[in-house]
């Protein structure tokens, strides 16, 4: 299984080393995973007592994690209802992917021009790890590494504002992008597009990378729309 420490070792200039994780970080990741995998379904109220018991934590760290997920756009906090897993419409998906597509194409072009050879090789290393997870059909860890590669390409632009905007939107539709890989045909298609992305990046072919990122985002919308 690939974890955040593995990603850090593969790309030290992209991801700062994490020496210790807080309880908040652990609860946040577990709760986010429950949403991504659909164990907490869109529209479902998050029962703090039940979820807290499942995770073995009190309500305080759980509530802090819920607040973070609300800021990411994965959870809505409604009066008299509490925390609800956000339900996205096809229009929501289309608008977010439209902006993500533009951000990633810009980040990819800048990465081709500005990234060091070491940074590009680190991204390639992440890609190889992702393929290993694909071969073992470990969908959740594959997905996390997949998203890390998208972030790494944008980070390689060196533009902090671009990175911040991309991170915000990418976090918002993690559940939708995860279910977009359901089924062998859809998953294989996404992997093939990632292969093209890495080839273009290693060649520093900005036009080719922007093109495949665009096609990848367009395909993502089609793959996800089928299951909304």
Residue 17 pLDDT level (bands cut at 50, 70, 90): low
Instruction: Considering only CA atoms, give the Rg of the chain.
Output: 18
Q: CA distances (Å), 131 to each of 2, 41, 139, 224, in order? A: 11, 28, 11, 21
pLDDT at 9: 43
Asked if residue 220 lies in contact with residue 97, where contact means CB atoms within 8 angstroms, the answer is yes
pLDDT at 2: 44
pLDDT in tens, 90-140: 899 899 999 999 999 999 999 999 999 999 999 999 999 999 999 999 998
pLDDT at 8: 42
Give Cβ neighbours of residue 156 (< 8 Å, ≥ 6 apart).
14, 107, 110, 111, 114, 115, 119, 120, 123
Both structure tokens of 112? 């081709």
Asked if residue 210 lies in contact with residue 166, where contact means CB atoms within 8 angstroms, the answer is no
Both structure tokens of 8? 């850090």
Q: Give the residue-averaged pLDDT of 198-212.
A: 98
Distance CA 81, CA 151 (A): 34
pLDDT at 37: 84
| 205 or 176, which is more confident | 205
DSSP 75: E
Distance CA 199, CA 33 (A): 30
pTM, full prediction: 0.78
Q: Which of 97-111, 160-174, 212-226 has the highest mean pLDDT?
A: 97-111
Q: Give the residue-averaged pLDDT of 36-49.
A: 91
Bridge partners (DSSP) listed for residue 78? 82
Residue 78 pLDDT level (bands cut at 50, 70, 90): very high
């Amino acid at each position: 299984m690939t974890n955040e420490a593995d990603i850090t070792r593969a790309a030290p200039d992209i991801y700062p080393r994490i020496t210790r994780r807080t309880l908040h970080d652990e609860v946040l990741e577990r709760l986010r995973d429950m949403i991504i995998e659909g164990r907490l379904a869109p529209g479902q109220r998050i029962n703090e007592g039940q979820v807290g018991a499942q995770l073995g934590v009190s309500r305080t760290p759980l509530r802090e994690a819920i607040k973070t997920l609300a800021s990411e756009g994965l959870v809505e906090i409604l009066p008299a209802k509490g925390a609800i897993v956000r339900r996205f419409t096809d229009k929501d998906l289309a608008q977010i992917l439209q902006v993500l597509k533009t951000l990633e194409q810009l980040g990819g072009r800048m990465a081709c021009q500005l990234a060091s050879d070491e940074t590009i090789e680190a991204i390639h290393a992440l890609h190889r790890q992702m393929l290993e997870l694909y071969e073992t059909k470990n969908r959740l860890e594959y997905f996390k590494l997949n998203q890390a590669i998208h972030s790494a390409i944008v980070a390689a632009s060196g533009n902090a504002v671009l990175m911040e905007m991309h991170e915000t939107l990418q976090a918002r539709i993690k559940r939708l992008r995860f279910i977009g890989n359901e089924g062998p045909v859809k998953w294989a298609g996404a992997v093939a597009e990632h292969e093209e992305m890495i080839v273009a990046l290693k060649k520093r072919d900005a036009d080719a990378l922007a093109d495949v990122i665009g096609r990848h985002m367009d395909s993502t919308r089609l793959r996800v729309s089928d299951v909304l």
